[in-house]
Amino acid sequence: MTLTNTTRRTFLTSAAALGAAGFFPGGVGMLRAQEGRVLNLRLDGDNSILDPGYMVGGTEIEAQKQCLPFLAEYVRDGDTFSWQPTAYVTRLEYVDDTHIEFELAPGLVWSGGHGTLKASDVAYSYARMKDSEWSGYFDALETVEVTGELTGTLVLNKPFAPFIMVTLCHGPGAIVCEAATEAAGGRFTTEFPAICGPYTYSATPGQRAVFEKNPEWTGPAPGFDRVVCHVITEVQAAELAYEAGEIDCTELGPDSLARYSKEMPENTAITTAGQLQYMWMGMNTQHPKLQDIKVRQAIQHAVDVDSILAGAFAGTSAKSHGIVCPGLLGARSDHGYTYDPAKARELMAESGVTGLELTLRTLNWQERLLTAQIIQANLAAIGITVNILPMESGPFWEMGMEEAGDTWQDLELWIMRFATVPDPYEATQWFISGQVGIWNWERWTDEEFDSLYDEGLSETDTAAREAIYVRMQEIMDATGAYVWINHEPETYAHKTSIEVVAAPSGELNYHRFKPV
Amino acid sequence: MIPYLTKRLGLAAIVVMAVLLLLFSMLHMIPGNPAILALGTRATPEAIAEYTARMRLNEPVVTQFFHFLGNAVQGDLGQDVFSNRPVTAIIAERIGFSLALICTGMGWAVLLGVPLGCLAAVRPGSWLDRVTGIFSVGMIAIPSFLVSIWALLLFSLELRWLPAIGAGEPGDFADQLSHLVLPAFAIGLGWVGYLARMVRASMLEVLGEPYIRSARAFGLTPRRVVLGYALRVAILPTITLIGMGFGGLISSAVFAEIIFSRPGVGKMIFDAVSDRNFPIVQGGVLVATCFYILVVLISDLLIAWLDPRVRSSL
């Protein structure tokens, strides 16, 4: 046995060499370059619950898309979104309004010796989803009939046109391994009990999640051998990391999007995933100060939305014409009022209301406050005094709910933003009569709107559905309770050497990324 | 020494209780339903009810407090709201990163600040003293988050010498070390100034003492007088300052951990507050408080050990 004597001199020499290795700028990078094609991305927090039934959402869906089977996936068709069957199925089609048949691809193996992917896994997964925290996505599903080892039929309890787009393509549509999930006690959190996808998954909490090529995967090969997702909670920190070359793709905030649009960093491209958020200023139609529709219409005509888009959002978001977001069925290119201060003053004069003072409530976020200030100036021009009330998210999100107290009675104006899914039905559901006092804080009801909502769910003809959602937004315009503001995009900056694939709601799908 | 230690431990327990009570009160004063805040605005009534029952939110605050305290004494700090993982395990995963950052930040500050203070005191009024004075005040005045951003922009974005985010590849010591440099520099810079000023002031006072004049009269070398006699006494208030500084660095580290996206207890608490993940907030604050009290206690004991006058006054 040879003993190595460590003298003070050898210690110092070793420490210097170690330090030099660590500080040498190219050292680590060169080592990494030898490991194969590595994609470095951002994760906005630790994945807490990977179980599709109990997940929080967001990046947990991203992880599921790499490791669990799905029957359908989003595909972009120009400016609109549609769906296509995934590599996990050889067939997925509507046979009638309430039956969707599928056939799984043969030979796809679950990890951990749990056998192949079977139709019974699909039935098990969707049955447990009906009892989960995401059960709302499966309200329309009656059952999954297993007709063979690889074949089955999704039976809907009523015609529900958006089922594939909203449920099967999205996170809740993930399929878990029945045997492995039951062995894990029926639920799981930070580890998949079994995977069947292009990548394996491991995570170091607070630091990273790593996706490695799954050696058992026989489907289409992913574009990268390894995907390292670094936990970076702050968007601005992620942008700096991107500019330092440490990650290959990151989400951009509105300020950075404007900066990048003016001066694009070298070898950088921008991809917009979708614009599935809609912001508006709402008015309480039952409030004594706003009961007169002429006052509400005057406010609609008085707000200069173009100034808001330029001043508060640096021109990075799309002007809104209703609750249906761009790219979706029923999205409009115009709406029922225009910015016309003269018309607004005329309407105020007709109403006979003078010296009106209103309170505008908003979340205390920078762009919302800027929006509120512009609205304040616009309404001052027609003689309405607006007091801005910035709020924390806690009280803000329950101020219109009757069960949360009496604040709903004092609500006058507020700036609101909802996120939605790639089908117009979801956005319309919050404004039906049953939602008054829950999410319909404008507190109007309309029988035609309610019946159109039901028709939209079951209508399968595209043109007819489009007409339904356009009409529903016209009804909303006519209440005078809305000033449509914008649709903020989910935007990603990435190296030109990679092609980014994201769901309309912004979740990245790493295995569909390609090196260019 | 034992009565002193007993008294200090008793005081520490009272401080921990007071901090937890304050924290509990603050968390329950946040407007809005904690269940909706944690689960999101579209949470189902069943999920809200389940969360409320699981977190004992329907019980009186005092009951909740004593329940938490009872479990904490047994090492159970509860479970993460989202992942259901034990809070102790989550803290254990991160505390090493915080300790590494705090110790490195304070370590380099001590290594630079103490000699600078000594040199300035030995040659008062010299150019070295003046330059040290100017730089010390400058370092103290610049907030650590500003240093973090500046260091990141310069060394990571512009020069690309050092990494911008994370704690380095697990198992790769050199990589982890390179990821530690900028955050440790950022949180330690202010402390270089504090320590230099403190040591200088103490040294000037001690160097004027009669026993130092006697030592010089006995013909001891200036180096021996300064390092062997003056610094040993002058360092005592500095040790207290370093002890308190470790506590202060926990909060400075939060900014560094956020800006450099480093895992750590500070960032964990920050994220948990954003997510309304109250068990993590409570557990994290408890651990940070205990750490602070422990470090201050150690520094007090160290002073008592170094200074016989303190020992005799107990």
Please work out, in degrees rounded to the nearest 5, the angle formed at the alpha carbon of residue B231 by the alpha carbons of B226 and B237.
155
pTM of the model: 0.79
CB contact under 8 A, A23 and B47: no
CA distance A294 to A283: 12
Shortest distance between the Cα of A19 and any Cα of chain B, in A, equals 7
Residues of chain A that touch chain B, judged by Cβ-Cβ distance less than 8 Å: 18-19, 21-23, 25, 27-28, 45-46, 48-49, 56, 133, 135-136, 189-190, 204-208, 230-234, 237-238, 240-241, 243-247, 392-395, 397-398, 404
Q: In this complex, how many residue pairs, one in chain A and one in chain B, have their CB atoms less than 8 Å apart? A: 127
CB contact under 8 A, A25 and B258: no
Which DSSP state fits A416? Answer: E
**A32 → chain B, closest CA residue:** B169
CB contact under 8 A, B32 and A245: no
CB contact under 8 A, B157 and A240: yes
For tokens 């050898």, name the residue.
A10
Q: What is the mean pLDDT of residues B71-77?
A: 86
pLDDT of B309 over the 80 cut: no
DSSP, residue by residue, B219-274: T--HHHIIIIIIHHHHHHHHHHHHHHHHHHHHHHHHHHHHHTT---HHHHHHHHHH
Task: For residue B286, give the nearest of B302, B275, B272 by alpha carbon.
Answer: B272
Tokens found for residue A44:
């906005």
Count CB-CB contacts under 10 A for residue A20: 11
Kind and range of the H or E element at B7? helix B2-29
Rg (CA), chain A: 26
Rg (CA), chain B: 24
CA distance B135 to B200: 13
pLDDT of B306 over the 80 cut: no
Report pLDDT digits (tens) over A38-60.
999 999 888 888 999 988 888 89
B170 confidence band (pLDDT: 50, 70, 90) = confident
What per-residue confidence (pLDDT) applies to A4? 41
Shortest distance between the Cα of A480 and any Cα of chain B, in A, equals 26
Task: For residue A420, give the nearest of A323, A320, A309, A322 by alpha carbon.
Answer: A323
Shortest distance between the Cα of A440 and any Cα of chain B, in A, equals 13
Count CB-CB contacts under 10 A for residue A410: 11
- Please report residues of B whose CB lies closer than 8 A to that of A237: 165, 258-261
The CA distances from residue A309 to A262, A303, A313, A319, A462, in Å, are 16, 12, 5, 7, 31
The neighbouring-strand residues paired with A269 are A494
Tokens found for residue B45:
């009534």
**A228 → chain B, closest CA residue:** B169
Report pLDDT digits (tens) over B110-146.
999 999 999 898 888 889 889 888 988 888 888 888 9
- pLDDT tens for chain A, 516 residues long, are 333 444 434 433 443 343 334 333 333 333 343 346 999 999 988 888 899 998 888 889 999 999 999 999 998 877 788 899 999 999 999 999 899 999 999 999 999 999 999 999 999 999 999 988 888 889 899 999 999 999 999 999 988 888 999 899 988 999 999 999 999 999 998 999 999 999 999 999 888 999 999 999 999 999 999 999 999 988 888 998 999 999 999 999 888 888 888 888 889 999 988 889 999 999 999 999 999 999 999 999 999 999 999 999 988 899 999 999 998 999 999 999 999 999 999 999 999 999 999 999 999 888 999 999 999 999 999 999 999 999 987 788 889 988 878 889 999 999 999 988 889 999 999 999 999 999 999 999 999 999 999 999 888 888 999 999 999 999 999 999 999 999 999 899 999 999 999 888 888 999 999 998
Task: For residue A284, give the nearest of A475, A447, A473, A416 by alpha carbon.
Answer: A416
- Please report residues of B whose CB lies closer than 8 A to that of A25: 160-162
Report pLDDT digits (tens) over B222-231.
888 888 888 8
What per-residue confidence (pLDDT) applies to B43? 67
B291 confidence band (pLDDT: 50, 70, 90) = confident
Which of left, alpha, beta for A267 (phi over 0: left; psi -120 to 50: alpha)? Answer: left
**B48 → chain A, closest CA residue:** A133
Are B24 and B65 a contacting pair, CB within 8 Å? yes
Shortest distance between the Cα of B62 and any Cα of chain A, in A, equals 23
CA distance A360 to A413: 5
Decide if the complex's ipTM is over 0.95. no
**B165 → chain A, closest CA residue:** A241
Give a three-class secondary structure readout of B201-222. Answer: HHHHHHHCCHHHHHHHHCCCCH
The neighbouring-strand residues paired with A40 are A228
What per-residue confidence (pLDDT) applies to A378? 97
CB contact under 8 A, A231 and B153: no
CB contact under 8 A, B174 and A18: yes
- Please report residues of A whose CB lies closer than 8 A to that of B170: 204, 207
Shortest distance between the Cα of A49 and any Cα of chain B, in A, equals 5
pLDDT of B9 over the 90 cut: no
What per-residue confidence (pLDDT) applies to A5? 44
- Please report residues of A whose CB lies closer than 8 A to that of B160: 25, 244-245
CB contact under 8 A, A49 and B169: no
Task: For residue B166, give the nearest of B151, B177, B150, B155 by alpha carbon.
Answer: B177
